[in-house]
DNA sequence: ATCATTTCGTTATGATATATAACAATAATG
DNA sequence: CATTATTGTTATATATCATAACGAAATGAT
């Protein structure tokens, strides 16, 4: 030995073994990556994850009410209001009237909304291809089965 | 057929096929379930996901700085301050001094902090057993491999 | 040694997400 | 009819997260 080993700029090794022992930790970290990329993907369309999800469900389910939409998105009705306000303000959807219930709104996408939704969904498809590149069908099925069983583990 | 099928209270079928076509959607929904259960699991210990994560990393890496911890948790230094304040206020950790750098703190867990952490980690282990019941080792490995590749897809 | 740059912890601020309570209008029920 | 439930809404509180700026201190360049 010629030189006494001088510790270099210290790459700082941090032990996260305990955390990596939890599957949920890996899911969270992976989801953060997905969310970041998805957020960037939707930005050019002026959409966020929540507004995009709402728009898709309205396009695919014309006439559904805010209560139904909130239930489908698993968020509170009160928190949906601002989301619907935003989409309506951009004239991507309209709050139509339900024939026999003057309380509820029948949410419907405008032509502009449907077109924007279509483009955004296409961008999301690309986004998923990027994120899940090299995920074969079999592995994908396994993944979805696990995620589904997690969802079904609720209240048990 | 004796009775004309009367549609019951309308279970309201909502089409979310588009959303279910995205793997990220399933991950988010599954993670919501995990997060809810984990939050409930940590509540008796007075910990939230972030404070718990920080406490674990401090216990396992005595003397690390706030910058290092923020980097490890992938959050901003500024947002870590309140987390550390909270843990310090409950005397679970201390802000010790780094010998040769009067700017940085050396975070260390107290005995109380280490004991609480140990119990909370045990509770989390139970939580994971609940959530991921019936997840065999092979499937688990596949899952972790996918999640790891997602994380590595960042900036590519 | 001086000066510029960087790093560390911090404060302030804003955007977003989420949960709860209350309310008026309306519908459904007994 | 009277009571109760539902719908959309407002207000409020909390948590998360990003960004900008700052003083103190360390580092690097000249």
- Confidence (pLDDT) at A155: 61
CA of B132: which chain A residue's CA is closest? Answer: A150
Give the contacts of B73 (CB within 8 A, at least 6 positions apart).
Answer: B50, B53, B54, B57, B80
Cα angle for residues B136, B37, B152 (degrees, 5° grid): 60
Integer distance in angstroms from CA A82 to C1' C25?
Answer: 20
The answer to the question of residue B4 being in a domain is no
A28 part of contact set with chain B, CB < 8 Å:
yes
A77 CA to C23 C1', in Å?
15
For B81-105, what is each residue's pLDDT tens digit? 999 999 999 999 999 999 889 999 9
Tell me what pLDDT residue A93 has: 98
Distance between A26 CA and the closest CA of chain B, angstroms = 6
| A128–B contact, CB cutoff 8 A | yes
CATH at residue A105: 1.10.10.10
Which nt has its C1' nearest the CA of B32? C18
pLDDT at residue B73 in the model: 97
| Position A18 in a domain | no
Give the confidence band of B155 by pLDDT, cuts at 50, 70, 90: low
- The answer to whether position A36 is within a domain reads yes
CB pairs under 8 A between A and B: 158
Instruction: Compare all CA atoms of chain B with the CA of A72 and give the residue at the minimum distance.
Output: B14
* Nucleotide with C1' nearest the B12 CA: D6
Q: What percent of chain B has pLDDT over 70?
A: 91
Query: Which ranges of A49-110 does DSSP label H, i.e. alpha helix?
Result: 49-60, 66-73, 77-89
Res A6: pLDDT: 30
Query: Cα(B72)–Cα(B88) distance, rounded to whole angstroms?
Result: 19
pLDDT at position A10 is 44
Distance from CA of B3 to the nearest CA of A (A): 26
A75 touches strand C (CB under 7 A): yes
Query: Domains in chain A: how many in total?
Result: 1
Task: Give the pLDDT of residue B12.
Answer: 66
Instruction: Answer yes or no: is A154 within a domain.
Output: no
From B38, B130, B146, residue closest to A139, measured CB to CB? B146
User: Which residues in window 68-87 of B are less than 7 A from strand D by Cβ?
Assistant: 75-76, 78-79
Dihedral Cα B39, B40, B44, B47, nearest 10 deg: 0
Closest-CA residue of B relative to A137 is B23
Answer whether residue A150 is part of any domain.
no
Chain D footprint positions (protein CB, under 7 Å): 6-12, 15-21, 23-27
CA–CA distance, A127 with A115 (Å, rounded to integer) = 18
A96-100, B5-9, B61-65 — which is least confidently predicted? B5-9
* A129 near B CB under 8 A: no
Answer left, alpha or beta for residue A50, where phi above 0 means left and psi between -120 and 50 means alpha: alpha
Q: How far is the CA of B133 from the C1' of C17 (A)?
A: 29
Range of the domain at A124: 27-133
Would you state the pLDDT for residue B156?
A: 56
Domain membership of residue A17 (yes or no) is no
- Domain membership flag for residue B60: yes
For B134-147, the pLDDT digits (tens) are 899 999 999 999 99
A156 is a domain residue:
no
Q: Is the shortest CB-to-strand distance from B28 to strand C under 7 Å?
A: no
Q: Write out chain A's pLDDT in tens, 156 residues.
A: 323 323 334 456 899 999 999 999 999 999 999 999 999 999 999 999 999 999 999 999 999 999 999 999 999 999 999 999 999 999 999 999 998 899 999 999 999 999 999 999 999 999 999 999 989 999 999 999 999 999 988 765
CB contact under 8 A, B33 and A151: yes
Judged by a CB distance cut-off of 8 A, whether residue A31 touches chain B is yes
Could you tell me which residues are beta bridge partners of residue B96? B106
Chain segment B25-51, per-residue pLDDT in tens: 999 999 999 999 999 999 999 999 999
Strand D atom within 7 Å of B102 CB: yes
Strand segments, DSSP code E, in chain B are: 93-98, 101-109
């Amino acid at each position: 030995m010629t030189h006494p080993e001088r510790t270099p700029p210290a790459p700082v090794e941090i032990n996260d073994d305990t955390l990596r022992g939890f599957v949920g930790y890996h899911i969270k970290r992976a989801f953060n990556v997905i969310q970041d990329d998805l957020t960037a993907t939707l930005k050019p369309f002026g959409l966020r994850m929540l507004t995009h999800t709402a728009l898709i469900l309205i396009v695919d389910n014309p006439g559904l009410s805010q209560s139904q939409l909130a239930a489908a998105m698993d968020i509170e009705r009160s928190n949906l209001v601002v989301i619907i306000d935003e989409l309506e303000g951009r004239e991507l959807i309209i709050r139509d009237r339900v024939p026999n219930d003057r309380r509820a709104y029948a949410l419907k996408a405008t032509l502009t909304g449907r077109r924007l939704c279509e483009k955004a969904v296409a961008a999301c498809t690309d986004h998923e291809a990027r994120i899940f590149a090299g995920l074969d069908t079999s592995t994908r099925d396994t993944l979805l089965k696990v995620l589904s069983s997690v969802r079904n583990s609720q209240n048990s």
